[in-house]
Structure 1
Amino acid sequence: MEPLVLPYRGKQPRLAEDVFLAPTAVVIGDVTVGPASSLWFGVVVRGDIGPIRIGARVNLQEGVIVHLDEGFPVVIEDDVTVGHGAIVHGATIAAGAQIGMGAVLLTGSCIGAGAIVAAGAVVPEGMVVPPGTVAMGVPARVRREVTAEEREALLARARRYAERGAEFRALLAQRERGNVP
């Protein structure tokens, strides 16, 4: 099984050489994915009506959906973690941020550098989560500052997923050659 990578209306996805794409990932249209990033099983990134830009060492975990509205491109900067089952829709996520499992970022929302959106939170349209803060709830509200320990953990998590993505890429390459026990 191969990931589904499709052009749409003349826009071809552009993926760095070392991106890990799980076999069930789907990437369509005007999408750019930076080095050492990973799109895990069941991820859908659909750039059919505008651009989606994903930086370096970004990990989109299982079941993440990334889409947009006209006039609201998606930008995910470097070292971002987007947890299992989250939805990023026409949003901007600055470097080093973390989006928790099942969170929803609605059109025009902006997540600041090093911020955390808690699992299950819904960030309303146009909301700005300031850098280095934690937003939680439905609708999301900024509750506190990110601690020094959390800040270190965010970057460590991004590095671990970059390493894990490289391992899985190598494993899939071995499998294609028939070398997996």
Structure 2
Amino acid sequence: MTEISRPDITIAAIHGKVPRIHESAFIAPGCRIIGDVEIGPEASIWYNCVIRGDVNRIVIGARTNVQDGTVIHCDSPKPQRPEGHATIIGADCLIGHMAMLHGCRLEDRAFVGLGAVVMDGSVIESDGMLAGGAMLTGKRIGAGQLWMGRPAKFARDLDEATKAANQAGVRGYVQNAKDHAAALRGA
């Protein structure tokens, strides 16, 4: 894990928990990463995201991209749920601009559309997709399913071409992050 020290990024410990960021991850200017947060290899956290692991933990897997303006938080322990809800995001996930994730779990290759909301206890299984603007409240999107609406409801199963396009998007973001990192270094 690497330390990032730039005036345009906040990486801060709280309650003795320090963010752990893989050296190959891209963290764009304007990001705020606080507390018990782990960011995996080649993940990318885009401009002005807030990832706040102050009351529970947050894990972001390898090659996952968290696009501009997204907010990720977690749920604190409560008497009825002593472990609370950590936010666990697998590898190769796409998280669209201005999404909000709170106390949820995304399995590998999950997709969260622009402006979508994923709430406490929700799960998006592998290759599952929550459409842009949708809100998932404590439900589970099955593997390879598309859910839409507020509240989100099952729309259809995804075809293989859509799943492949999503993974091409992941690969594109890994390269795009390298290009932005080089540009910010002035290379």
> What is the TM-score when the length of structure 2 is the normalising length?
0.91
Match of 1:113 in 2: 126
Contact kept, 8 Å, 1:18 with 1:166, in 2: the verdict is no
Q: Partners in 2 of 1:18 and 1:2 — Cα distance?
A: 19
**Aligned match of 1:150 in 162, 171, 176?**
162
Match of 1:169 in 2: 181
Q: Which amino acid aligns with 2:38?
A: T
Q: Which amino acid aligns with 2:110?
A: A
The share of aligned pairs that are identical, in percent, is: 36
Q: Partners in 1 of 2:10 and 2:178 — Cα distance?
A: 19
Deviation at 1:154, TM superposition (A): 0.9
Deviation readout 1:117-136 (Å, 9 max, x if unpaired): 00000001x20110100000
Q: Which amino acid aligns with 2:46?
A: W
Q: Secondary structure in 2 aligned to 1:53? A: strand
Does residue 136 (structure 1) correspond to residue 142 (structure 2)? The answer is no
Match of 2:81 in 1: none
Q: Secondary structure in 2 aligned to 1:31? A: strand
Match of 1:17 in 2: 23
Q: How many residues align?
A: 174
Deviation at 1:142, TM superposition (A): 1.0
Match of 2:73 in 1: 67
Deviation at 1:2, TM superposition (A): 2.4
Q: Partners in 1 of 2:111 and 2:47 — Cα distance?
A: 19
Gaps (5+ residues) in structure 2?
1-6, 77-83
Does residue 123 (structure 1) correspond to residue 129 (structure 2)? The answer is no
Deviation readout 1:10-63 (Å, 9 max, x if unpaired): 100000001111110110000000010111111000000011000000111011
Q: Partners in 2 of 1:2 and 1:11 — Cα distance?
A: 21
> After the TM superposition, which parts of structure 1 deviate over 6 Å for at least 4 consecutive aligned residues?
none
Q: Partners in 1 of 2:62 and 2:178 — Cα distance?
A: 13
